[in-house]
Chains A and B, each alone.
Chain A
Amino acid sequence: MHLNEHEIRAFYDRELGEAEMQRINTHLADCPSCQIRMEAISQRAEWVQSQLEMLSPLPEEPSLSVMAARSQLNDILIKEHKIMFKKYFTRQYQPAWAALCLVLILAVAFVFPPVRALASSFLGLFRVQHIAVVEFNPANMPDETSMQRTAEDFERLMSKHVTLEKSGEPQEVANATEASGLAGIQVRLPASLADQSPRFTYQSAAYMKLLVDLPSLRAVLEAMGRADIQLPEELNGTTVEVNFPASVTAIYGQCKAPPDPDEQKPEMINLGCTVLVQMPSPTVTAPPGIDITQIGEAFLQLLGLSREEAAEFSQQVDWSSTLIIPIPRSGDISYKEVLVDGVTGTLIQNDSTYYPEYTLMWIKNGMLFALTGRGNGREAMEIVGSLQ
């Protein structure tokens, strides 16, 4: 029984086990025809290898060191963080956890790692009752190099002090009733979309805890060149906890998953997809005696507002119950306050994608709602108008 091609080649490459190698060795010793084939195959293999060897980089040809390469990759990742906030609005299909958690953590926290971490360290919200939008100019933020230097330190700092707990992934449920039961809330749905047979997912509650280490925070601010921003001393050593209650997501229409990274052309994600997320307002537990206003102003200054502007804005906001959404100043994204569902809500319009998209958020009777879909404010308002 002669050797097959794979056996001959694998023998040559020494890719077989001991026993096999032995067996084939023995066979070769007695089989001239297999020997000839082995000879031919190995000669060709060596020749091809020598041809390919010409492609190898020579020692004198310089190239990036591993560290330099890693640092270049980091540059790219950080740059992507900067446009991620904008990208968020194009994600139409999100499990409830990603959607709402993203809104709350990312919207309160955001584009730049230090800002992100800093924000989560003084959320200063007790139960979210209002939403306010702050526009900021990314150009006013610390420049990229100093950001990069401090970003890693800051992350290391925060990593020791941040705990995130969630009990499981979002699960698909059969209908609104089941979702209501699981989440313990009365799910409201837009009647105007009822004919689109919604799908429902349920995300159980999650919890985040943050231990504040003020000296390190201050060191980071200093490294960013913002030693002028003051944080109250009482904050040091405190623990801030955020509770995200269970949420229900209703998905209407055609919602596609995020695009395949291997595909060449950009995917149009929104094919007439509307998503409504609802959950009881998150609660934040922070130690008593903290001057929330001072923290809020520090946050605004970090976003690039002057001390006076920060103070002025701060006066108009009830920090203890307001969710702040920072929006980078850009021609494509606009926002305005609208009257929906009997309360004041915030409508954010994103025109940077193929189709205009909106996100409408409001809080009613202690429930936080977020509606995203294709179109403009009018469509959004109509949908909310039909909520039951």
Chain B
Amino acid sequence: MAETVHRDTIRHMEPKSAAIEDSAAFDFEAAFQEYWWRVYRVLFRIVGQQDEAEDLAIETFWRLYRHPPRRVDNLGGWLYRVAVNLGFNALRTQQRRQHYEFEAGQQAWQESLASNPAAEAERNLARDQVRRILGRMKPREAQLCILKHSRCSYAEIAAALGIAPGSVGTLLTRAEQAFEQLYRKEEEADHAS
């Protein structure tokens, strides 16, 4: 039986990848409008820099466009999953680079601290510390904390991280414990030095 397929725009006439042929129908534009800010904010929290967060957010939606999920029962969850993965990968790269630059005594890093007004510098230091801790946690635990903080529901968190909804509470509590422990260790190390 021939079935008529009306495509909305001409770009649908070209076969992009097999995925778009058998993925569920959803409205990309509506999804973009609905989720853009939340995705951007999650990424900003993770990487701490506006440009980078924007790039990663755009990449998240690029993936939605080019390689959409087969099922869209939890589009938010899918988007968050992609976003936190991208974000934490970027964070680790950032921290490796910062660690290296710091160890090598790069002037730039020192100078950028000096050129910021005091309040901003202090805020940046505090942010750096939190992100450092996140970078040291187990990936899934860090992602749990960030997603919860970004006001995701248990259902969204479960979908994003591929865990059972009934485990979110327990895993979240443990993740926060890990955060606290790492924080204490840092404080002790600071006081010792």
Contacts and interface: CB of A to CB of B under 8 A. Distances in A.
Contacts of B58: 69, 72-73, 76
B171 to A, nearest CB: 9
B10 interface: yes
B45 A52 contact: yes
A289 interface: no
A66 B57 CA distance: 11
B44 A106 contact: no
A10 B155 CA distance: 12
Q: Counting chain B CB atoms within 10 Å of each CB, which of A66, A84, A169 scores highest?
A: A66
Main secondary structure of the interface of A (DSSP, over half): helix
Given A15-B153, A63-B40, A66-B37, A9 B173 contact: yes
Contact of B8 (A47, A70, A159): A159
Nearest to A157: B10
A179 B190 CA distance: 73
A162 B1 CA distance: 20
B70 to A, nearest CB: 14
B177 interface: yes
A62 interface: yes
B44 A57 contact: yes
A189 interface: no
B61 to A, nearest CB: 6
Interface in A334-365: none
Interface string B169-181: 1101110110110
Contact of A66 (B9, B32, B126): B32
Contacts of A169: 21-22
A45 interface: yes
A329 interface: no
A156 B4 CA distance: 19
Contact of B7 (A45, A61, A162): A162
A49 B145 CA distance: 8
B131 A55 contact: yes
B177 A258 contact: no
A97 B10 CA distance: 17
B5 interface: yes
Contact of A261 (B3, B66, B123, B166): B66
Interface in B139-160: 145-146, 148-149, 153-154
A117 B14 CA distance: 11
A9 B170 CA distance: 7
B4 to A, nearest CB: 5
A25 to B, nearest CB: 16
Interface residues of A, number: 63
A63 B53 contact: yes
Contacts of B41: 56-57
B10 A159 contact: yes
B102 interface: no
B168 interface: yes
B173 A5 contact: yes
B50 A63 contact: yes
Contacts of B66: 261
Contacts of A69: 32, 36, 40, 54, 57-58, 61
Given A52-B145, A162-B7, A13 B63 contact: no
B134 to A, nearest CB: 8
B11 interface: yes
A63 B44 CA distance: 10
Contacts of B40: 63-64, 69
A54 B22 CA distance: 42
A117 B54 contact: no
A252 to B, nearest CB: 20
Contacts of A62: 50
B141 to A, nearest CB: 11
Given A6-B168, A76-B62, A117 B10 contact: yes
B186 to A, nearest CB: 11
A165 B3 contact: yes
A5 B174 CA distance: 9
Given A9-B173, A257-B18, 5 more contacts: A13-B148, A55-B48, A57-B41, A72-B58, A169-B21
The 6 lowest CB-CB distance pairs between A and B, nearest first, are A9-B169, A6-B169, A55-B45, A52-B149, A98-B15, A10-B169
Interface of B: 1-11, 13-15, 17-18, 21-22, 29, 32-33, 36-37, 40-41, 44-46, 48, 50, 53-54, 57-58, 61-63, 65-67, 85, 123, 126-127, 130-131, 145-146, 148-149, 153-154, 166-170, 172-174, 176-177, 179-180, 183
